[in-house]
Structure 1
Amino acid sequence: MKRFKFYFTYAWRSVLRGGQRSFFAILCVAVGVAALVALQVLGSSIQDTLTGDTKAQAGGDIVLRIANSRGTNTNTNRVFTTDDQDRLNKFKSDGVITEWSPLIVQSTIRLRNYFSFPPTLYAVDPATYPLYGNFEIIEPKGKNLRELIGQPGTVVVSKNLWEKLGLKLGQDLEASGSNGQNIKLKVVGESNIVLPGVIFGPGQFFGFMITSIPTSASMYDAADNLPSQVFVKTSSDKVLDSAKQTLTSGTRFRGDTAYEIQSQLTKGISITQDFLSYIGLLSLLVGGIGVINTMLVVIGRRTTEIATVKALGLKTRQTLFIFTLEALFLGIMGSLLGVILGELLGLGIKGVAEGFFARPLVWSLYPGPIIIGMLVGVITSGVFGFLPSYAAARVRPAVVLRAQSTMVPRIGGIPGFIILLLMTLALGIIAGVLIKNLVLGVIIAFITLLLMAVLVGVLWLIILLFGLLPTPRNPAIKMAVRSFSRNRGRTATTVMVMVVGLFFISFITFVADSVKSSIREAFDIQLGYNTIGFTGLLAGGNTPEITANNIASLKQIQGMQKVFPSNFASVRLEAINGSTPSGGRITITLDGRAYINGESTGNTATQKIAAGRNLTPEDADQNVILLYKNTADALGLKTGDKLTVRPQSTTGQTSQTTELEVVGIAEEFTSFVNFEDSYVVPYNVVAKLGTPFTLYYMLIDRPFKQAALQNAQAIVPTVLDLDDLIDTFNRLLDQILAFPLILSLLSLFSGAILVANNVALAVLERRTEIGVLKAVGAKRRRVMSILLWESGLVGFLGGLIGIGAGILLALGVNTFSSPSDGRGASAITFTWSPGVAALLMLLSIGLALVATLISAWGAVQEKPLVVLRYE
């Protein structure tokens, strides 16, 4: 017992004597554990949010939809007709189910003076909805949905749409649906964006309104006001499967139980949790590297001490045990600190993830991640501490006492390799436990080891070559470069961590900027319009006469510069030159191109023609067609060929065919925005064939835009402000990319901690060197400048490689993008911003310098006499 007390006392005092170096080793472990705990907590939070209350999330015991039926395109194929609803009432009266609640989803509602992405309108029966759970009403407090929308003409608005419109209780919204009737909806409440039975939908991102079915019926035709899904309640879980079987046998219904829906969600969530756990383990790997570096330096400084205690009788296995115990103490303290930091970090990541998942996340103090963080942190520290502990155990008393050496003995190739494999195996087992697959965890661990070894090896070579480059005559820079390349293995590991973080940060930033700039450029420059209106899905009509009247009225609006119509129609390609196509009859989409005063929409003026000619204003009423080259090649078409098409019928009646002559073959567009697909015909041809709606492209002077949008909405049922749509898209893109960006920043921060740890160790190793420098007249600022230059090189090299790799990958995406989109080029051109790259480079160097100042400030203050006396 006394022996174990000695082991624990000696190891604990060694940790305390370590001072700053022990602190940074603890901090390295803490950062890794914090990342693991935060991501584990986030994974648990996501799972509880999406699968917590199973039946409330699903909307009922069973969720019914209409099974797909081939051979028809009618609306009744996808909704519950009155006959279907009568059948559900029959099931209820027979006792198969106890209650059912319909959900109608309307995506074509129009709000007066609202020009952004259309909100979703959910129509429910407030007497039965929701069957399970609560629909949270934010304002007025204490009210429920049944009380608020029981009266006709009332609506509850989601929080995101409420804030966008700046609504108040009692305010009236003028809205219309497919029947063209404008009605006033009274805003009676603000709700949470979480809707029972709707796990993910556009309403969660762009906003929604919820009202009663009678209110919805006042805006939509009867055929359009039918439920697309039905929530069913049974008497108990015991009859769940039999009820589902009864409901779906011999009917058009397709059903999923709440538990089946939960199982599907859990499979998707488990992938997310495994990914988050892997990221957390990578961060913990950085902590293990810090433990190795710290203990190797400590052992190097204490070889005389180790040799002395071994000469007094301490055996090799006892030395191994003591130093492994010291690593475990570092792991315990680092894990405790990491758990606290992880919970705090998790709160910050939670806010980012809520934007990513478009819903508030459940949050609580989960014991699982805390226990896992403690165990994994301690075990990882012990595993990584075993390698330097083995080095300490190999210290030979006689050799060290005779030579007074402070060099760590070499472990040897075979033992070191075996220890490395065992360490990787242990980490693989830990990863396997976290992802619930031991074999996969071990495979991932060894693949990660291989990739890290290759990357560290390349960086080691780069650092070696960097040290051979000619340096300026400044003594501080010369000494910094020499010190930079002195411990190449440790420096390469630190640079690797910073490279990984900066690579992902730069690539994510470049992608976000490229997508935003491509969309902005496409709409502002290539498309040439800033507003789109359309008719057809809502009331308005699509005949050429109505379209001409609409265009004439739109042109009268102050600030309106251009207006162009466009349309499309789905048809069946019946024959080519009188013969059935070799691949059989196929459905194609004809895009209508209009000409007004000799001009057409978009970028058709710059379109390159490979064969024949382009469409002209004289073709307005001619049965001619322009093909894109990839389509023409695929079908073996050339100019002069005849295509026979038949409009798609929704009534089952046979429609008349139309013959179109190929007059031209065009090169594919390279523009991001191109509303024409592979088959282009004159606008009037599509209008005669029948079109679901007509698009109006409008260019409005920005000073008159708001008033012009309001006036245009009085003519065209739906008007969309492209500037607002772009801003909305950019906001969603920022929310989506913020999550991986946070994960990348964790890696970069871990690299900064490693820099601080390495500087502290370098100062410890070079105490004699620093003491001599100060003894011969070097000032504190000169010594600090050497350390700052050295760390600045680490930050510079990490930034140069990481950001450079991000730039190369972004540019490589352009190079290897295939013309599979049918337009001959990638839809988005990825570019990089020199300004953003410079800022990221400054961030990398700045973190390294700040870490150096924090870790080395106290060391450079030490008096040279004190150093030289004890060294």
Structure 2
Amino acid sequence: MRTQALLRLAWRESRTARRRLALYMSSIAFGVAALVAIDSFAGNVTRSIREQSRTLLGGDMALQARAAFPAVVDTLLDSLRNDKIATARVTTFASMALAEPSGGTRLVQVRAVSAGYPFYGEIETIPANAWSRVHNESIVFVDPSLLVALDASVGDSLRLGQKMFAIAGTLGNVPGDAGITAVIGPRVYLSDKWLDATALLKFGSRAEYDVVLKLPASLATPVAAKTMARDLRRRIDPRAAALQEAQEARGEERRGPGGEDEPPAADSAATAAAAVTKATTDSLTKAAEPASDSASGLVSGAVRTRVRIRTVADTERDFTESVARLADFLSIIGLIALLLGGIGVASGVNAFVSAKIDTVAVLRCLGATSRQVLALYVVQSAAMGLVGAIAGTLLGVAVQFLLPGVVSDFLPIDVELALEPRPLILGLATGVWVSLVFAMRPLLALRRVSPLQAIRREMDNTALPREWNDPARLTVDALLVGSIIGIVVSRIGSVRQGLYISAAIGGAVLVLWVAATLLIAAARRSTRPSWPFELRQGIANLHRPANQTRAVTLALGFGAFLLSTVYLVQANLLSRVQATSAGSAGNLLFFDVQDDQAAPLDSLLRARQHPVVQQTPIVTMRIDALNGRSVSSLMADTSARRAGWALRREYRSTYRDSIVGSETLVAGKWFADSAARAKSRAANPEAPFEVSFERDLATDLGVALGDTVTWNVQGVPVTTIVTSFRTVNWARFEANFFVVFAPEALRRAPQQFVVVANVPAGPAIAAVQRDIVRRFPNISSVDLTLVRQTIGAIVDKVTLAIRFLGLFSLAMGIPVLFSAVAATRRARLREGVLLRTLGASRAQVARVLLAEYGALGALGALTGMLLAFAGAWGLTRFVFKDPFDPAVGPTFVIAAGMLLLTMAIGLLTSRDVYKETPMAAIREA
């Protein structure tokens, strides 16, 4: 048969099955849609980052520190300016703003910038072009939301510390400033020439210092900028630069969680919000999460200040990696969508093949060879796969234009939407390939249909001969397995994790096959004569000759497994971003409270009958040595896997006698009572002080109970011994810490305080904040109710994004269930005909079907649900690096829903069995 004739015959023969094939191929359309949408979204964001990378940084290179730059950096900047390299400074910190005349107060993010900033892009203001006045007048530009919060307007006065400013306008787009920071605290921009006049930055005040460089064209290339950054690191601190270069040579510059030199960026929309929530809480309490302290370090007196050097390429890489992590969860959705689509195709084509046995037998009688018959239906399947892939591509393009709107608040750039050719072509090709690979296995059975089948009507049409050693079948099986592994590895982005997940998928299939086999055995042995006829008949259908129990259980169970896994992972991610403050000690938090301000603040609050429920001292320090080994020696040691950030960071720690409500002791013993400690100290004054570590930090440092840690507490060495490990609930709006000391270790050290008070909501809070700001301008206060609202807004958007994708994945399962259940429709039709002919009523036939599909649905849903707990645990633990908290109740609800849906679809697809008369049903059969 010629190709043209084959195609013409395939077109004509498909007329009776197009609607059915379209249903089967709708499964693949959803999978392709997910792939195209996710890859196009990631491509759009990556391209936008590449185009806006200089604007994101504000220049060609930046030096960053979390303390004032020491003299060596200032000298270096002077030499750069002499070489005609322009520089601009940015100082960022949190403070209270007081509006006059309304008297409103609000925690704000202050950014003091020098002339020339930014070198790329423009700071947009309303009125337009008003920014040019900022360095000549005592003015500020604020977020529009701040005016609403303070009941102020342009032209009013705004007090920052001891300096009064005029509000000259509102801010629009600011280069390098992610919009999400404005949700945490409204932005206030001013000239750095007024910074000293505010008197806000005192000892212990938390601020970030940036210097942005504009390089000549000859140095602005990625290679030249990288070389210059390496040279600057060596000039700032040769030792730290050498350590970093050694790490780069070992390929350890940026490792993943568990051994990173930098803590990982946010890995998804969900983890982005979790990071924002945690960073917000930490910035309020000064107990911040691990800082990204990579790059070079230097020593200024006794306090070590880390200076980080970043280039445009670093910014592009970091944001691209953040987008990649954001796409991790989306990739899981796409992978599941594709696998579900493949299952739908396989189940649907299996039913299609069963319905085409008589047609194939007639074609064989007319002289068609087995290869020609196979080619005929392969062409049909490929054509429908192409149609499904095209439909999925179009749907994916539509979803692509929705994704940036859902997650735009978590992106530091304006995403320019455009069609990405590569994801479109890849999605189209993948859809067609998956359709063919999953369809080929059931289609191979058509080669074994004999011409005699056309006249042997009494033979069970679904009983196709199989040869397990058939080379063609083995080849198709190998292609199927290889395709699944290849797709999983490409979607996950890691060969190791991809192989693990592929093995888990294979294990799930094996478990489902064993479960179906056990169900067949149980159905054969458990039937009792005392059972109702309908139940006995339905259970008997599970083990009858040519039953579809294994095939349907595999399809239903695997679908339930994938869908339940999606829900469990989704629920786990959402639980991570649901910040709860129900257990917080108070509702008004004060920080940056200096040592000499703690007592007056306490007196002021108590005089107004506002109880102080928590007053926490904070002391800054760094690690000098672990078990007698210096930090530099530990950093150079390649045999131990310690997180570099944990060794290099500046710690803000506290001291107290007791554990607090946000902590749980998990190992060791808490500090001895004060009397016992005093007696022990008197007997041995040189003994190390007791200290408690947060468990994850101890793991990253490689610290065990009984180890000694020497601290540099603002120039004074303090030796401690680790006596306990704790877990910390970072989501609570309280002062939480990585390290807690026994009181006598730090009581005399320079310190500041975080104070939490209970103040009635409403005007009382506003009055207290206003009076505190006027008396102590450096003290910032936060109404936790307001923080809960702002973080709640972020969480709501993240929840919407994740639930949208979760519902999308659940919707993908419906065509799969239709395809899986429809695979047994022909057998159900013949059995229903016999039952109706023997006198069974429609209700009895319906109850028989309910019994069969109920058993199949229950087995598939429950087995898939149990497998989902294991799969979700693995994904959460090893891919998203989170602890697994199973949502048991909702998962049972999903299983029950799938059971009911299976029974409903079974009755719907078999409606012809009991709605027609026996004679009409016999004619159809």
TM-score w.r.t. structure 2 length? 0.72
Deviation, 1:258, is 2.7
Q: Which residue of structure 1 aligns with residue 611 of structure 2?
A: 561
Q: Which residue of structure 1 aligns with residue 690 of structure 2?
A: 627
Report the CA distance shift for 1:30/1:204 in structure 2 as closer, same or farther (over 3 A).
same
SS in 2 for 1:109: strand
More deviation in 561-570 or 479-488? 479-488
Q: Which residue of structure 2 aligns with residue 542 of structure 1?
A: 595
Q: Which residue of structure 1 aligns with residue 10 of structure 2?
A: 11
Q: CA RMSD in A?
A: 5.1
Structure 1 contact 150–212 (Cα < 8 Å) conserved = yes
Deviations 1:154-188 (A, max 9, x none): 444457x5598487762747452xxx315345161
Q: Which residue of structure 2 aligns with residue 760 of structure 1?
A: 822
SS in 2 for 1:321: helix
Code of the residue aligned with 1:87 in structure 2: it is S
SS in 2 for 1:131: coil
Code of the residue aligned with 2:162 in structure 1: it is Q
**Equivalent of 1:503, from 565, 568, 576?**
565
**Equivalent of 2:587, from 514, 530, 549?**
530
**1:108 is the counterpart of 2:100:** no
**1:296 is the counterpart of 2:350:** yes
CA distance in 2, matches of 1:148, 1:666: 57
CA distance in 1, matches of 2:448, 2:418: 48
CA distance in 2, matches of 1:502, 1:532: 41
Report the CA distance shift for 1:779/1:726 in structure 2 as closer, same or farther (over 3 A).
farther
Deviations 1:65-124 (A, max 9, x none): 16x8xxxx962249964x5554343222xxxx4xx3524141222234999995433333
CA distance in 2, matches of 1:384, 1:234: 57
Structure 1 contact 570–590 (Cα < 8 Å) conserved = yes
**1:84-163 pair list within 5 angstroms:** 84-92=76-84, 97=85, 100=86, 102-112=88-98, 119-125=108-114, 128-135=116-123, 143-144=128-129, 146=131, 149=134, 152-158=137-143
Deviations 1:269-314 (A, max 9, x none): 5676688567534422322222222222222222222122112211
CA distance in 2, matches of 1:782, 1:163: 71
SS in 1 for 2:754: strand
Report the CA distance shift for 1:502/1:574 in structure 2 as closer, same or farther (over 3 A).
closer
CA distance in 1, matches of 2:319, 2:664: 49
CA distance in 2, matches of 1:147, 1:256: 28
Structure 1 contact 115–724 (Cα < 8 Å) conserved = no
Q: Which residue of structure 2 aligns with residue 186 of structure 1?
A: 167
CA distance in 1, matches of 2:668, 2:325: 48
Unaligned runs of at least 5 residues, structure 2: 237-306, 632-646
Structure 1 contact 244–255 (Cα < 8 Å) conserved = no
Q: Which residue of structure 2 aligns with residue 230 of structure 1?
A: 212
Structure 1 contact 756–854 (Cα < 8 Å) conserved = no
More deviation in 725-734 or 384-393? 725-734
**1:653-732 pair list within 5 angstroms:** 672=729, 675=736, 679-682=740-743, 686=746, 688-691=748-751, 693-701=752-760, 706-707=765-766, 710=769, 713-714=772-773, 717-729=779-791, 731-732=793-794
Q: Which residue of structure 1 aligns with residue 291 of structure 2?
A: none
Deviations 1:367-394 (A, max 9, x none): 3322222222222222222223321122
Code of the residue aligned with 1:412 in structure 2: it is E
SS in 2 for 1:75: coil
- Identity among equivalent positions (%) equals 19
Q: Which residue of structure 1 aligns with residue 674 of structure 2?
A: 615
**Equivalent of 1:591, from 654, 665, 681?**
654
Deviation, 1:324, is 0.6
CA distance in 1, matches of 2:887, 2:603: 44
CA distance in 1, matches of 2:532, 2:772: 70
Q: Which residue of structure 1 aligns with residue 451 of structure 2?
A: 397
Code of the residue aligned with 1:131 in structure 2: it is F
Report the CA distance shift for 1:680/1:209 in structure 2 as closer, same or farther (over 3 A).
same
Report the CA distance shift for 1:775/1:321 in structure 2 as closer, same or farther (over 3 A).
same
Deviation, 1:554, is 0.9
Deviations 1:224-258 (A, max 9, x none): 99951304143467877557756856854976543
Code of the residue aligned with 1:753 in structure 2: it is P
Report the CA distance shift for 1:509/1:64 in structure 2 as closer, same or farther (over 3 A).
closer
Q: Which residue of structure 1 aligns with residue 476 of structure 2?
A: 419
Unaligned runs of at least 5 residues, structure 1: 638-642, 650-654, 818-825
Report the CA distance shift for 1:295/1:702 in structure 2 as closer, same or farther (over 3 A).
same
Deviation, 1:63, is 0.9
SS in 1 for 2:433: helix
More deviation in 250-259 or 331-340? 250-259
Q: Which residue of structure 2 aligns with residue 334 of structure 1?
A: 388
Q: Which residue of structure 2 aligns with residue 170 of structure 1?
A: 154
CA distance in 2, matches of 1:833, 1:430: 30
CA distance in 2, matches of 1:556, 1:207: 31
More deviation in 715-724 or 367-376? 715-724
Q: Which residue of structure 2 aligns with residue 652 of structure 1?
A: none
Q: Which residue of structure 2 aligns with residue 75 of structure 1?
A: 68
CA distance in 1, matches of 2:226, 2:655: 47
**Equivalent of 1:460, from 505, 511, 516?**
516
**Equivalent of 1:286, from 330, 340, 344?**
340
Q: Which residue of structure 2 aligns with residue 410 of structure 1?
A: 465
CA distance in 1, matches of 2:121, 2:620: 43
TM-score w.r.t. structure 1 length? 0.76
Report the CA distance shift for 1:324/1:808 in structure 2 as closer, same or farther (over 3 A).
closer
SS in 1 for 2:94: coil
Deviation, 1:25, is 0.8
Structure 1 contact 234–240 (Cα < 8 Å) conserved = no
SS in 2 for 1:107: strand
**1:638-649 pair list within 5 angstroms:** 647-649=713-715
CA distance in 1, matches of 2:455, 2:225: 84
Structure 1 contact 392–408 (Cα < 8 Å) conserved = no
**1:380 is the counterpart of 2:434:** yes
Q: Which residue of structure 1 aligns with residue 192 of structure 2?
A: 213
Structure 2 contact 484–502 (Cα < 8 Å) conserved = no
Structure 2 contact 832–913 (Cα < 8 Å) conserved = no
Q: How many residues align?
A: 798
Deviation, 1:24, is 1.3
Structure 1 contact 514–828 (Cα < 8 Å) conserved = no
Deviation, 1:423, is 3.1
Deviation, 1:268, is 6.1
CA distance in 1, matches of 2:351, 2:553: 14
SS in 2 for 1:53: helix
Report the CA distance shift for 1:749/1:218 in structure 2 as closer, same or farther (over 3 A).
same
Deviation, 1:489, is 1.9
Deviation, 1:326, is 1.0
Code of the residue aligned with 2:516 in structure 1: it is W
Structure scoring higher RCO (CA < 8 A, sep ≥ 6) equals 2
More deviation in 759-768 or 505-514? 505-514
**1:461-476 pair list within 5 angstroms:** 461=517, 463-464=519-520, 467=523, 473=531
CA distance in 2, matches of 1:328, 1:855: 25
**1:482-521 pair list within 5 angstroms:** 486-487=547-548, 488-509=550-571, 512-513=574-575, 516=578, 519-520=580-581
